[in-house]
Amino acid sequence: MCGIVAYVGKNNASSFLLRALEKLEYRGYDSAGIAVCKENKLNLIKKKGRINVLREALQGLSGFEGFTGIGHTRWATHGEPSDVNSHPHTGNSGKIAIVHNGIIENYMVLKNNLIKKGVNFSSETDSEVVAALIDSSYEGDIFEAVRRAIPSFEGSFALGILCSDFPDQIIAVKKESPLVLGFGDGENYIASDISAFVEDTRNICRLNENEMALIKADSVSFYNFKGEKINKNITKIDWNVGSSDKGGFEHFMMKEIMEQPSAIRETISPRISNGEIVLKSLKNFNEEYLKNVKKIFVIACGSSYHVGLASRFALEKLTKLPVEVELASEFRYRSPIVDETTLLIVISQSGETADSLAALREGKRRGAKVMAIVNVVGSSIASEADFVFYTWAGIEVAVATTKAYSSQLASTYLVALYVSKILKTVSESTFKNYLNYIELLPELVEKILLGKEKIYEIAKKYYQCDNVFFIGRGVDYAVCMEGSLKFKEISYIHSEAYAAGELKHGTISLIESGTLVIAVATDKRLFEKISSNIREVKARGAVCMAITIEPKKEEISYVANDVFFVSEIPEIFLPSLAVIPLQLFSYYSALLRGRDIDKPRNLAKSVTVE
C-alpha cells in the first residue's frame, strides 16, 4: 500500500522524486522520504506527514542535487508514523538505502539473528530488516548482495535499492507487490504505479513475480532470483490515463463524482456497436466456453465487493446462472467449491489488490477460468486472468472511490447482458431494451448530479449526527453497503448498512431519538415493505432520508423526513443511479465536518498487503 519511486538519469533526482511521490500519495500519506546519491555519498531525508512537509524540509539543503535516487510515501503497517519509521531505510554501513512496499512476514526472526551478529536497528519496521540483511551480505557487489539476501525474505515485497558505491544504478526487486519500470531518453524510472512517471514517459515494462532489474540511465538488465538474465519487452501505453489535477474543484473526490457520466460513457460506448455488445478483448469468451459454465463467483474487496453484491442481481437475472459473491480475503482461506465449470470474476480498480490476486490464483489452481474487471492496463490481476475487461475509468486520486465503482458496475451489466445473448437466456427484444437503458446511464447520472445542491441542503441538517443506519432490501441493500462505506470512511461518523427485513432481529434496539436512518427504496416490488420499515424506525424516534424512484417520491414523502428521487429504470440497473446521492451526501457531510476528504485517516487506496 506504500508508494515507491526511483530515478536514474541526467536530471535532478530529488525534483522528480518529490513530484512522483505526490502522484503516489493515494497509496499512503503518513510519512515520506527520499535518498539521493551524489559523489558516492548517500544523502537521506524523511519526515512524518504529507509530501509537502518533506518538500519544505528539503528547502535549502545541499547534497540532494544528484542524478540517482529513491523515494517512498508510507502507509504504516509496522510501527507508528514517525520520522524514524519512515523510508528509506539504511544498513549500518550507511552505504545502502532501500524503499519497500509489502510485508516481510519473518522479519522478527531475521532481526533477532542480525542483532546477535551486532547489527543495530533504529526503527520498528519490517523494512529496515531488508536494508540490514542486504548490508550484512554486501562484499563489494551490490547486485550479488541483494540476490543472496532475497531467499531469506518471506512475504511480499517490491524494493528499490541504492548503494553509494554504485551511484549510477538502482536495483529493483518484485515479489507479490506491484512494480513498473519507465524508459526515457537517457533516464529511467521505477514506481509502484505508472501515474508516478506517465508525464515523463509512456514506455513501460512491468516486473513479474520473482524478477529483478539492474537500472542505469542508458540501460536496463533483467534477471530472475537465481541471477539468470532474462528478456522482457517494453510496451507503449496509449490509453488515456486521465488528469491528476483537481480541475477547479475543491477536492478530487467531488471532481471524480462529477466525472462519473463521462467515466461510464468511456466504459460502455466502445463496447456497443450497431445494437450489439462487442467485447473484442475477451478472446475465447464465447458459446463454446460459456455453455459449460455452471456457476459464477464474484470475488473482490471493499467497494469492488459492493459492485459484486449489486451486480449479482443482473448476472443471475440475465444469465440464469447461480452467482456467489465473496470477499477475496475470506475466499482464499476456505475450500470453495470451484472447478472447471466455474467462472471467477475478479473485480479490482488497481489490479494489484493482494487478497483478490491470491483468490484469483486459488480459483485457477482449482480449475476455474478467471475474468478480471480492472482499470489498470497490464496490472497483475489483468496479466494472470484468462479474460480481461478494462473499465477505462482513468486515474482516480481520491481514496474513496466513486467513478471506479460506477465504471465497474457498468462493466458487469455489459458482461451479464453479453453472456445472456450468447446463452439465449433473454429474448431479442429484452436484450435491446436493456441495452438501451445501459446506454442511457451517463445521461441519467448527469441528471442526478444537477440536483446535488438538494443533497447539500439535506447534509446540512444531519452532518452532526453520531450514528447513521442505511437500510434497503434486495438490490437496494447492496447500494446501502456502498453508501455506508463511503459515509464512514470520509466523515468518520459511525454508520452501518442493514437488510431492512432484519431490523426486528436485533438492529432496531439501536434506534433512538434523533438517529438518522437512510432508506434506499428504488425497487417497486419491495416498496411497501421498506415503507413499513421506515415507519418502524420513525416510531422509535429516528429521522429518515429516503432515496427512491420518481413515481414513488410523493408516496414516500408521507413517511420520510427528506426525499431524493432518481429516474425509474429496470431494477437491476438502479444501483448506478441510487449510489450517486449517497456519494454526494457522504462528501457534503465530510466537508461540513472539515475532514480531509481525499486522504481520510488510516486509509490508502491501493491495498497491496494483507
Contact predicate 194/376, CB 8 Å:
yes
- Which strand ranges, in their side-by-side order, compose the sheet holding 369-374? 323-327, 295-300, 342-348, 369-374, 387-390
Q: How far apart are CA 64 and CA 453, in angstroms?
A: 48
Kindly name the residue from 175, 403, 599, 605 that is annotated as catalytic. Answer: 605
CB 32 within 8 A of CB 54: yes
- d(C-alpha 190, C-alpha 4), whole Å: 8
All residues at 6 or more sequence positions from 565 whose CB lies less than 8 Å from its CB, including other chains: 547, 548, 549, 550, 552, 553
Gap between the Cα atoms of 336 and 350, Å rounded = 25
- To the nearest 10°, report the CA torsion of 498, 502, 504, 506: -70
CA atoms of 422 and 424, how far apart (whole Å): 5
166 and 186 in contact (C-beta within 8 Å)?
no
Q: How many CA atoms lie within 13 A of 533 on its CB side?
A: 27
Distance of CA 337 to the CA centre of its chain: 27
Which residues, listed in sequence order, are joined to residue 169 by a DSSP beta bridge? 216
Considering all CA atoms of the chain, what is the largest pairwise distance in Å, rounded to the nearest integer? 79
| Alpha carbon distances (Å) from 21 to 173, 179, 229, 349 | 19, 14, 30, 20
Q: Is 605 known to be catalytic? A: yes
Report CA-CA distances (Å) from 171 to 9, 63, 146, 162.
14, 21, 8, 7
Residue pair 490/253 in contact by the 8 Å Cβ criterion: yes
Which of 2, 37, 480, 544 is the catalytic position? 2
Q: Report the catalytic residues.
A: 2, 605
